[in-house]
Amino acid sequence: MKTETANKDWSIYIWMFTVPLFWGGAFGAAQHVITEVPPITAAAFRFGTAGLILFVFTLLRGEWQVAEMKKHWLGLLLMSVTGVFAYNALFFIGLSYTSAINGSLIMAISPVLITLGAVLFLKESWNKKLGIGLLLSLSGVFLVIVKGSWEAMTSLSFNAGDLLFLSALLCWALYGLIGKVVMKGVSPLLTTASTTMAGAFFLIVWSFTAGGWDRVPHMSGQAWGEMAYMTIFATILAFFLWNQGIHRLGASKASIYMNLVPINACWIAVLFYGSSMTWVQCIGIVLVIAGVCMVTLGSGRKATDRRAEQIVGRG
């Protein structure tokens, strides 16, 4: 029994490695899709389809608990607005102005923000590693945005897409922190399904003002393949596994896997979409990942020790 429990505990660590792979591929895929369909329409189609599939799956598993959703309606609504509606609206629009590589690098700072938010609002402890890690990550993101240009540094002329991704970053951090609280009373599957559906509703309403639904049936085969990838892998599977990680590992520890998103996004964008990566962006990768690793590995060690003590205590 102990062996089965240990294997089950370790399985989430293995599955969490697929999350940054799925999300890393979504940056390049989304950037191509929005050349054929308006950004908000693409986001609405992606999450609307994913929401319907998740609803049916949750219903079939008997986990569609209306009473639980009513009890935690405010938290679920806030997750829908921040992590599905606002984040993805900013994500798709931001890709119209900046590169997939830049967007993924900016999002790589999310583990630090989630940990910082946990310190300020969820009563987790502050330490020196957190401060140093935050400084390193912010430096890396700034370096990526200005592309090493002294002129850009002195004029503070930022790309509009980079600023949109910084806003998306804040929304994603809020999504993770709120999720840590909500999933104390709601299962990860029900959380994923209900927030995806609610967020998709807001995106669909907005998409009617943006137009472009008449272009969807005429998307190219490549765009349809990319949309299917984003719907199944980058939304249904990735969001469910992410929420599982938040629930079982905690927000700070689960967020460490976001460190791999820019790496995956970079090699996928370069390999499949003809993007280029400069030495400045490479330095940005090193700084961002060094910062988030310092924070999340430091904060995760104590949680691991407590987990081990609990297992030994049950033995």
Look up residue 25 and give its DSSP letter: H
Per-residue pLDDT at 3: 46
- Low-confidence spans in the chain with pLDDT less than 70: 1-9, 124-127, 130, 134, 144-158, 292, 295-315
Q: Cα separation of 2 and 254, whole Å?
A: 23
Per-residue pLDDT at 261: 83
Using DSSP, state whether 205 is helix, strand or coil: helix
Query: Which residues neighbour 288 within 8 Å (Cβ) at sequence distance 6 or greater?
Result: 105, 108, 109, 136, 137, 140, 141, 144, 259, 262
Per-residue pLDDT at 37: 96
Query: Which residues neighbour 240 within 8 Å (Cβ) at sequence distance 6 or greater?
Result: 54, 188, 189, 192
Contact 214, 38 (CB under 8 A): no
211: region left, alpha or beta (phi > 0 left; psi from -120 to 50 alpha) = left
Q: What distance, in Å, lies between the first and last C-alpha atoms of the chain?
A: 10
Dig out the tokens for 185 from the structure: 């009373």
Contact 79, 191 (CB under 8 A): yes
Burial class (CB in 10 A: 0-12, 13-18, 19+), 30: buried
Dig out the tokens for 94 from the structure: 């931001």
CB atoms within 10 A of CB 38: 19
Look up residue 12 and give its DSSP letter: H
Contact 111, 297 (CB under 8 A): no
Q: Cα separation of 52 and 189, whole Å?
A: 13
CB atoms within 10 A of CB 125: 9
Enclosing H/E stretch for 38: none
For the stretch 242-274, pLDDT in tens is: 999 988 877 877 887 887 787 788 778 778 878
27: region left, alpha or beta (phi > 0 left; psi from -120 to 50 alpha) = alpha
Per-residue pLDDT at 130: 66
**What is the identity of the amino acid at 216?**
V
CA-based nearest residue to 88, from 40, 45, 48: 40
